[in-house]
Amino acid sequence: MAYTETWAGKISRKLLKKQRIIDVAAGRAPADLVLKNATYVNVFSGELETRDIAVAEGLIVGLGRYAGAEEVDMTGKIVCPGFIDAHIHLESSLVSPAEFARAVIPHGTTTVITDPHEITNVMGEAGIEYMLAATEGLPVDVRFMIPSCVPASPMDESGANLDYRDIDSFFEHPRVQGLAEMMNFPGIISADSEAVAKIVASQAHHKKIDGHAPGLRGNDLNAYISAGVYSDHECADMEDALEKLRLGQFIMIREGTAAKNLEALMPLILSEKYFDRCMFCTDDKHPSDLLEKGHIDYICREAVRMGADPIRTVQVACLHAARYFLLNNRGAIAPGYLADFAILEDLKDFHVVTVYKKGRLVYRDGQVADFPLPAIPEHLTRLAHDTFHLPVLTPGSFAETRRKGLIGMVPGQIITQDAGYADGVDATRDILKMAVIERHKNTRHIGIGYLTGYGLKSGAVATSVSHDSHNIICVGENDGDMAFAANRIAQNKGGIVVVRDGKILAELPLEIAGIMSGQPLEAVNTLLENAKAAAYSLGVSRDIDPFMTLSFMALPVIPTLRLTTRGVIDVNTQQYI
């Protein structure tokens, strides 16, 4: 007969554990781990203190003088709480969650708040289940916000369409914090019943609701916030950020691969009045950024370089996100908090030398400790590798003689400009054809538009990483290469490809739902960088990331113009043009 622990047994076990924690804290029993002579950042008092840090049962139990089974001298180092990313899509790293964890642990990240809406737009509820399974037990604590907009907008066409009934049960999962970025702000402002029902469902479970409303102003912003939206990570300037902050929203300062808002929002961190309403997030991070720059540690380093107080920067990187998401046992070094530590050489370069997660060493001397891979149910793995359903395309699939909207890219941002209309490709004037190809349900829908600011002179670039619906997005100088590139994406079950004259110059297969690879991060990065080099060789502007920036051109919730499977849309009016 299988053993099942009784309720009384569970209480007894927890009682013994709690009694031991108290005994260690009181000095009556040795700690599991003691960081001796530790100079640590006290995020509550805003100062550096030097004491021993005692750990037992995965928790910090005391600050003072302690002895333990393991003692590690911290002289000359700075101990910070583990860093927290307040908003990220793990899928945008292009690798599995386990590989993502392996990449960010060396940078001191111990908790991330993820929104799995990328894979959910491909696989529906099975996508959420896949990510919950793929993150179970990782040495980075992965907490979830449940996707609010699948698809991102009624104008979009994704692999699933979820209403509040489809997501309600997920709110009871112990690692779910709330409802992810409510991108459908027009639906909330107009009191659309389907959009509002998701907020009501989240609040019924006493969960947070994150926002996504770039440039929203006045009474529309009042309506959006009054619905229960508590934060925003889409602020690109101080005017936008301050209007939202003054109305009570928390501001997630984003510094990712495609969108970089830290410099514009630095006055928030520099201000005594505003900084405690801020936290850091990356939103989307490509492999090269993780490998070459870092994660939250990179944002801290840049903030200090721009004049921020180092201790205040640590508070933004740790405590504020924990407080906002009601993760009341992390984000600080104090008794009763998780023993999550990022140990630095100093508070200028934020170079991480050692990382502990719940008192267990997970990184030191350039090495990530081994950890078991999560067990993903076979049926979810099978579903994730079978997500392309579309016909073979021909050059005629992209034929178009009518005038179409011309989308203007903005370097360094994911917003776009209305550049008017175009009636054909003219690479000499940087006018290219762009297509979004439905790939989930074989609808044969292909939206055609034109793009400027990309710079491609010949060939074509295609990717199935196309926010948020993850249809195939393709931009090219001729229809033949566009068809070839899109067909290659389908053959690979997803990914990125750069072609010219019907030949593959570079490619990166992404076989997990068409958006992630099962390969190691370094291998993915090599293929990705080769693809970037190929794209640049064809003339793509070096002011943009050829694939990350392109992937946002199909997202119909960020102004001004976007391309969907049905054509070019004006986001502000929610009308096709």
* CB atoms inside a 10 Å sphere around CB 132: 20
Residue 101 exposure: Cα atoms within 13 Å on the Cβ side: 26
Q: What is the mean pLDDT of residues 382-404?
A: 97
For the stretch 147-189, pLDDT in tens is 999 998 888 999 999 999 999 999 999 999 999 999 889 899 9
401 and 280 within one domain: no
Classified as helix, coil or strand, 139 is: coil
Residue 526 and residue 113: Cα distance in Å, rounded?
27
pLDDT at 552 over 50: yes
Would you place residue 2 in the very low, low, confident or very high pLDDT band (cuts 50, 70, 90)? Answer: very low
Domain boundary among 330, 359, 393: 330
Contact in structure between 562 and 568 (CB atoms under 8 Å): yes
In the predicted model, what is the mean pLDDT of the chain? 96
The answer as to whether 60 is a domain residue is no
Residue 87 and residue 105: Cα distance in Å, rounded?
17
From residue 382, alpha-carbon distances to 200, 221, 385, 389, 427 in Å are 34, 42, 5, 15, 42
Domain holding 473, by residue range, is 384-576
Closest CA to 288 of 542, 538, 532: 532
Domain boundary among 294, 309, 330: 330
Number of domains in the chain: 2
Which CATH number is 216's domain given?
3.20.20.140
Would you place residue 4 in the very low, low, confident or very high pLDDT band (cuts 50, 70, 90)? Answer: low
DSSP class of 237: S
Q: Is the C-alpha dihedral spanning 322, 204, 118, 260 positive or negative? A: negative
319 and 409 within one domain: no
452 and 305 within one domain: no
For the record, the structure tokens of 554 come out as 């199909």
The answer as to whether 170 is a domain residue is yes
User: In this prediction, what percent of the chain has a pLDDT beyond 90?
Assistant: 91
296 and 167 within one domain: yes
Closest CA to 123 of 444, 516, 551, 461: 516
388 and 302 within one domain: no
286 and 416 within one domain: no
The answer as to whether 142 is a domain residue is yes
Q: What is the mean pLDDT of residues 216-232?
A: 97
274 and 410 within one domain: no
For the stretch 412-440, pLDDT in tens is 678 899 999 999 999 999 999 999 999 99
The answer as to whether 59 is a domain residue is no
Domain boundary among 330, 350, 374: 330
How does 469-479 read in b/e, with b if 16+ C-beta sit within 10 Å?
bbbbbbbbbbb
Antiparallel, parallel or unpaired: β 31-42 and 68-73? parallel
Would you place residue 291 in the very low, low, confident or very high pLDDT band (cuts 50, 70, 90)? Answer: very high
Residue 77 and residue 19: Cα distance in Å, rounded?
32
390 and 326 within one domain: no
From residue 201, alpha-carbon distances to 205, 318, 536 in Å are 7, 28, 46
Closest CA to 446 of 393, 378, 402: 393
The answer as to whether 335 is a domain residue is no
pLDDT value of position 558: 85
- Name, in order, each residue with C-beta under 8 angstroms of 360's C-beta and a sequence gap of 6 or more: 58, 139, 369
289 and 180 within one domain: yes
DSSP class of 372: P
Which of 205-209, 255-259, 338-342 bottoms out in mean pLDDT, i.e. has the lowest?
A: 255-259
416 and 504 within one domain: yes
Contact in structure between 100 and 286 (CB atoms under 8 Å): no
Q: In the sheet that 109-114 helps form, which strands lie side by side, from edge to edge?
A: 83-88, 109-114, 141-146, 176-182, 208-211
Contact in structure between 414 and 260 (CB atoms under 8 Å): no
Name the percent of the chain in helix, strand, coil, to the closest 5: 35, 30, 40
Q: Let me know if 208 is exposed, middle or buried by CB neighbors in 10 A (0-12, 13-18, 19+).
A: buried
Helix ranges restricted to H, 385-520: 479-491
390 and 323 within one domain: no
Contact in structure between 38 and 53 (CB atoms under 8 Å): yes
The answer as to whether 569 is a domain residue is yes
The answer as to whether 11 is a domain residue is no
The answer as to whether 223 is a domain residue is yes
Q: What is the mean pLDDT of residues 35-41?
A: 98
531 and 457 within one domain: yes
